[in-house]
Amino acid sequence: MSKAYFNYAGKRLLQAIVVILLSYVFTFVVVSILPGDPITNVLNNPQNGFTPDEIKEIIAAQGLDKPIPEQLWNAFSGFVTGDLGLSMRTNRPVATLIGEVLPSTLVLASAGLAVALFLAAIIAYGTQFLPRRYGQGLLRGFPSLFLSVPNFVIGLVLIHLFGFQLGVFRVIEPDSFWATLFAAIALGIPISAQIAEVLIVNLDHESGQDYAAVARGRGLGQMRLFVMHLLKPSSLPVITVVALTIGELLGGSLITETVFGRNGLGSLVQRSVSTQDLPVLQAVVSLAAVVFVVVNLIADLTYPLLDPRVKLLGTQQRRPTTTDDSSVPISKAVTP
C-alpha cells in the first residue's frame, strides 16, 4: 500500500468520525435541548400518569437536571462506551433492549442483501445472454418494476400466498427458516433494483470492450465469460451502490419486521414510538447513523484496493458509479 493510500484512509477515517459526532450532537439537540423538548413533554403529559416524585426520579436518572454541556458530554461518552442510558418506560438499559433484538435484524438485513445481490446478478446475466426480446426488453424492465413496489406490499403478498394459501411457513413462527427467507425476499426485491441497474449499465460497457470480443472469438462459454471476465470489473461500482443503500436496507428491515411479526429493531422502534420512549429512539437513530457511516467508509477504503486501475491523485479519491472515467473527477482510472 502506498503512502498516498494511507493518507487518504486517514482523512476518510477522520471525516467519518466527524460525521458520527455531528449526527449524534444533532440528534441530542433535537431530542433533549430545544425548547419544549419531547422528553419534558412526555413527562409532563397527564395522560402518561407520572407523579411529581416519579418525574423527579426520571429526570435525575436521565441526567436532565445537569447543565446542557455536561448532559451532552455524559451522553456522548456513554454512547462511545456502550452505555446508551435507561429506558423511560421499562427502566432497563437501552443497550440491553437493543442487544436482545439486534441479532434478528442483522440476520434479516444480511439475508435481504444476499437476496438483492443474487437477483441483481441473475437479471444482469439475463440481459446479456438471453435472446434479445427477453434480455433487452422484459428483464431490463424488472428493476423499474421492483423499485415501484414497496417492500411491505411484497411482504403481504408473500404472506398471503406462501403463508396462508400454500402453508410453506407459519405466520406464528416468524423466526423460522422459511419465514425469514420470505421476509428477506420482500426486503431484497426493491433493493435489487438499484444494484441491477448499475450492474446492467456496466456490463453493457464491458461487453463491448476488446478483451470481451477476443474471449468470444476464442470460444469461451457465456457463463465463463460472465464470471471470469465481465463480472468483476462491472461489479466494482456495485460496492458504491450497496454502501449507499444501507440506510434503505435498515429502514426496510424495520418495516418488514413489522409486517412479518419479527421481534427485531422494528418492533422495538414501534413500541418506543407508541410509548414515546425517547432514549431508545435516540439510541437507535444514532446507531443507524454509525452503521451507515462505517459501511460507506469501508466501501471508500476497499474500492482502490480492489481496482488496480484506480490511482489516487494527492490524498483524495471518489468512488465511481460507472465505468466511464469522466464520472470520476478526483481519481484517474488508467489501464495497466
Which of 3-7, 249-253, 308-312 has the weakest average pLDDT? 308-312
- Summarize pLDDT for 83-92 with one digit per residue, the tens: 888 887 787 8
Confidence of residue 312 (pLDDT cuts 50, 70, 90): low
Q: Cell 455524559 maps to which residue?
A: 74
* Beta bridge partners of residue 93, listed in sequence order: 86
- Predicted local distance difference test score (pLDDT) of residue 187: 92
Is the predicted pLDDT of residue 184 greater than 90, yes or no?
A: yes
CB atoms within 10 A of CB 209: 14
Confidence of residue 316 (pLDDT cuts 50, 70, 90): very low
Is the predicted pLDDT of residue 334 greater than 70, yes or no?
A: no
Beta strands in 131-235 (DSSP E): none
CA dihedral 317, 318, 322, 326 (to 10 degrees): -70
- Summarize pLDDT for 13-23 with one digit per residue, the tens: 998 899 888 88
Q: What would the grid cell of residue 4 be?
A: 498516498
- Summarize pLDDT for 278-296 with one digit per residue, the tens: 788 888 888 888 888 888 8
Inter-axis angle of helices 177-207 and 94-129, nearest 10: 50
Q: What would the grid cell of residue 88 be?
A: 423511560
The arithmetic mean of pLDDT across residues 35-58, rounded, is 69
Of residues 131 and 197, more confidence is placed in 197
- Summarize pLDDT for 136-153 with one digit per residue, the tens: 667 788 888 888 888 889
Confirm if 167 and 287 have CB atoms less than 8 A apart.
Answer: no
Confirm if 304 and 312 have CB atoms less than 8 A apart.
Answer: yes
Distance in angstroms (rounded) separating the CA atoms of residues 79 and 145: 41
Report which of 316, 320, 314, 283 is spatially closest to residue 14, judged by C-alpha positions: 316
Is the predicted pLDDT of residue 61 greater than 80, yes or no?
A: no
- Predicted local distance difference test score (pLDDT) of residue 332: 34
Share of the chain above pLDDT 90, in %: 13
The arithmetic mean of pLDDT across residues 110-126, rounded, is 89
Which of 2-11, 163-172, 272-281, 301-310 has the weakest average pLDDT? 301-310
The H or E element containing residue 234 is helix 231-244
Share of the chain above pLDDT 70, in %: 83
- Predicted local distance difference test score (pLDDT) of residue 136: 65
Is the predicted pLDDT of residue 194 greater than 50, yes or no?
A: yes
Confidence of residue 335 (pLDDT cuts 50, 70, 90): very low
Highest mean pLDDT among 35-39, 49-53, 74-78: 74-78
Q: What would the grid cell of residue 125 be?
A: 446475466
CB atoms within 10 A of CB 187: 30
- Predicted local distance difference test score (pLDDT) of residue 189: 92
Is the predicted pLDDT of residue 134 greater than 90, yes or no?
A: no
Q: What would the grid cell of residue 283 be?
A: 439510541
Query: Taking all residues of the chain, what is their mean pLDDT, rounded to a whole number?
Result: 79
Which of 70-74, 95-99, 105-109 has the weakest average pLDDT? 70-74
Confirm if 265 and 286 have CB atoms less than 8 A apart.
Answer: no
- Summarize pLDDT for 234-265 with one digit per residue, the tens: 777 888 888 888 877 887 888 898 889 888 88
- Predicted local distance difference test score (pLDDT) of residue 336: 35
